[in-house]
Chain A
Amino acid sequence: MNSRDQILAAVKANQPELTPLPQLDSFFKGQETALIEKFTQVLNGIGGKVIVVANTNEIISLLKENYSLDQIRVISPLASMQEIANNNIDNHNPHALENVELAILPAHFAVAENGACWLDESILLDRVLPFITQHLILIVNKVNVLPTMHHAYEKIGNEQYGYGAFIAGPSKTADIEQSLVLGAHGARSLWVFLV
């Protein structure tokens, strides 16, 4: 008998009598207030920054103020960002993204309770882009701030992605004497624009 069959047989022999799966319905109740405020407070608390803007022009002018955009490599798949970024990358060579300074990506939605944004493979150009870039900008529609992770997975539903991630704040570590340092291996900073 190979290991697969051996393990499965042992599991079958040793697993206890079937117990029921619990319902998750109760977790959806009473969670619907002040979502943008909550999201902003939580993400600011974990090292990110939330900026509410009226339109994408505002985003572009804020980025121009804060980055020397003509001197750094800026990548974005968004048509509205092509004035300051480009979407020209080679998916067969993710290593070539190592010099990206700024990545501007859309996120499907944000989660108020933990400051996370959800992105799947269809919108992030390359899986490694949100990690390898020095700084990360995410753009989310204001109406897509959800209360909790339960609402988040309800929204994701049966989506068939190859890869997807919740991103909550900049990369960080506290491994050295519990001192918080931002910028471990992933992005050093994260700004989320709510449009």
Chain B
Amino acid sequence: MKTLDHAERADIFNEDEKRVDWHDETLWWIRQKRDKSAHQIPEWEDLRETASAIKSNTLSNLHDYLLEFEKNALQNGVIIHWAADAKEHNEIVYRLLKEKGIDKMVKSKSMLTEECHLNEYLEHQGIEVIDSDLGERIVQLAKEPPSHIVLPCIHKKKEEIGELFHEHLGTPKGNADPQLLTEAARVHLRDTFLTRKAALTGVNFAVAETGEIVICTNEGNADMGAHLADIHIACMGIEKIIPKREHLSVFLRLLARSATGQPITTYSSHFAKPRDGKELHIILVDNGRTRQLGREEFRNSLKCIRCGACMNTCPVYRRSGGHSYHNAIAGPIGAILAPNLDMKQYADLPFASTLCGSCSNVCPVKIDIHDQLYKWRQVLVKEGYTTTAKQVAMKTMATTLSSPALYKLAGKAARTTLKYAPFMVNNKFNAWYLQRDMPKVPQSSFGEWYKINRKKNEQ
């Protein structure tokens, strides 16, 4: 079965125009909150520059930092695991649960486990997983993936959530009051926290110098899960390392302001040692990250701290929705990370952009996102992963542009066609025309105009 590409999925999302407008405006509102928050910090640009430089240093010395982190974490009594890929990561989690005879687990947000499809894997093995972040719980009940890395159910209307909660949590039918629905989730998940023996969390930052990990939430769900469980499993990509504890100051100042405009998340929890008598496991996952590290043009994508600012600002993301990216991480950053995982499957994503550069302008670690989107396009065309139509069009264009005679002829032909036979291009076979009007026809080309006007001027 052919999977739908970004444009096809965006078409489906755009069938409901009112919903697209609402989605667009909601995300833009969050972008504006980010601006307001950033503008209150005079040294904001220095912070971005510094964060980017810290991440550059991290990537350039990652081997030693990983060893340092491992050594310090082990000294703290943490158990460290290494996973080469998603499969090995999932198997480690399952083995840890199985060894303890645990068949129910509570989980807080982790985009890495989305990337590894952990929930599906564990459910297949007979393990029940309950997501505890409210937005993630909502999409889990709806049997959907998150559509945004920070705001998992940003695509859902409250009436739909009310309906889901009525069905699964027994809230009154037709009630879509966010306060009431949140309270229902609080009661339901409190019982989950109190009865689960295993908790899985993501990791925002891992400090090489101290061996500690930092987890940021607003709800307090990571802490509720981890502190009440016998075993806490924290999963992280190897790029989550930062060199020193003092560097947390830079990243914690940037993260929440960039994400939602908050000055900091409600909780920034530092886990260094397990509780007395309990276990803390950290799984360090590669899953393509070392390959991306070796791609000079794309390695900066590993600096990402998962704030979602590039999605909130992206005109394409806002109007196509997170699900159209068919990848755990949507938006501009997802579009430069995904082709590293599978060029064929994600060849469409770097084209889901206008290259306007807004993503790069808001990125707190100054990733050159739009440049990388452009560079991925070149790689994907060269490697033959784009559609034949796109390749033929590109080749024809290259030939035409490199020959003055062909260029003049093509220009003339286009003007004649648009003037006398517009139906030849204004039809459904022209992908360009589907969402746009063709340009008005000029009387002549610039070359022709210049020839006449220069003569006039010389006279």
Binding site for B on A (CB under 8 A): 2-4, 6-8, 10-22, 24, 26-27, 42, 46, 91-92, 94-95, 98, 113-116, 126-128, 131-132, 148-150, 152-154, 156, 158, 160-179, 181, 183-187
Contacts and interface: CB of A to CB of B under 8 A. Distances in A.
Given A2-B82, A175-B182, A178-B26, 8 more contacts: A27-B50, A113-B263, A128-B227, A153-B245, A168-B268, A171-B218, A172-B266, A179-B179
A42 B194 CA distance: 33
A165 B50 contact: no
A70 B421 CA distance: 87
18 contacts: A3-B82, A3-B88, A8-B63, A14-B291, A14-B293, A21-B53, A22-B50, A91-B276, A114-B263, A149-B252, A154-B246, A168-B268, A174-B151, A176-B181, A177-B178, A179-B179, A185-B189, A186-B266
B270 interface: yes
Interface in B157-192: 157-158, 161, 178-179, 181-183, 185-186, 189-190
Interface string B52-95: 01101101111100110000000010000011100010000000
A162 B267 contact: no
Contacts of B272: 160-164
Interface of B: 26, 29-30, 41, 43, 46-47, 49-50, 53-54, 56-57, 59-63, 66-67, 76, 82-84, 88, 132-135, 138, 151-154, 156-158, 161, 178-179, 181-183, 185-186, 189-190, 193-194, 218-221, 223-224, 227-228, 238, 243, 245-250, 252-253, 260, 262-277, 284, 286, 290-291, 293-294, 296, 299
B264 A165 contact: no
Nearest to B41: A113
Contacts of B61: 15, 18
B220 A131 contact: yes
Nearest to B85: A3
Contacts of B223: 127-128, 131, 165, 186
A148 B193 contact: no
B56 to A, nearest CB: 5
A10 to B, nearest CB: 4
B220 A162 contact: no
B219 A184 contact: yes
A42 B30 contact: no
B88 A173 contact: no
A4 to B, nearest CB: 4
B219 A161 contact: no
B224 A94 contact: no
A174 B182 CA distance: 9
Nearest to A184: B219
A178 to B, nearest CB: 6
B249 A177 contact: no
- Shortest 6 CB-CB distances between A and B: which pairs? A186-B220, A14-B294, A184-B219, A175-B135, A114-B263, A128-B227
Given A185-B190, A185-B193, A163 B220 contact: no
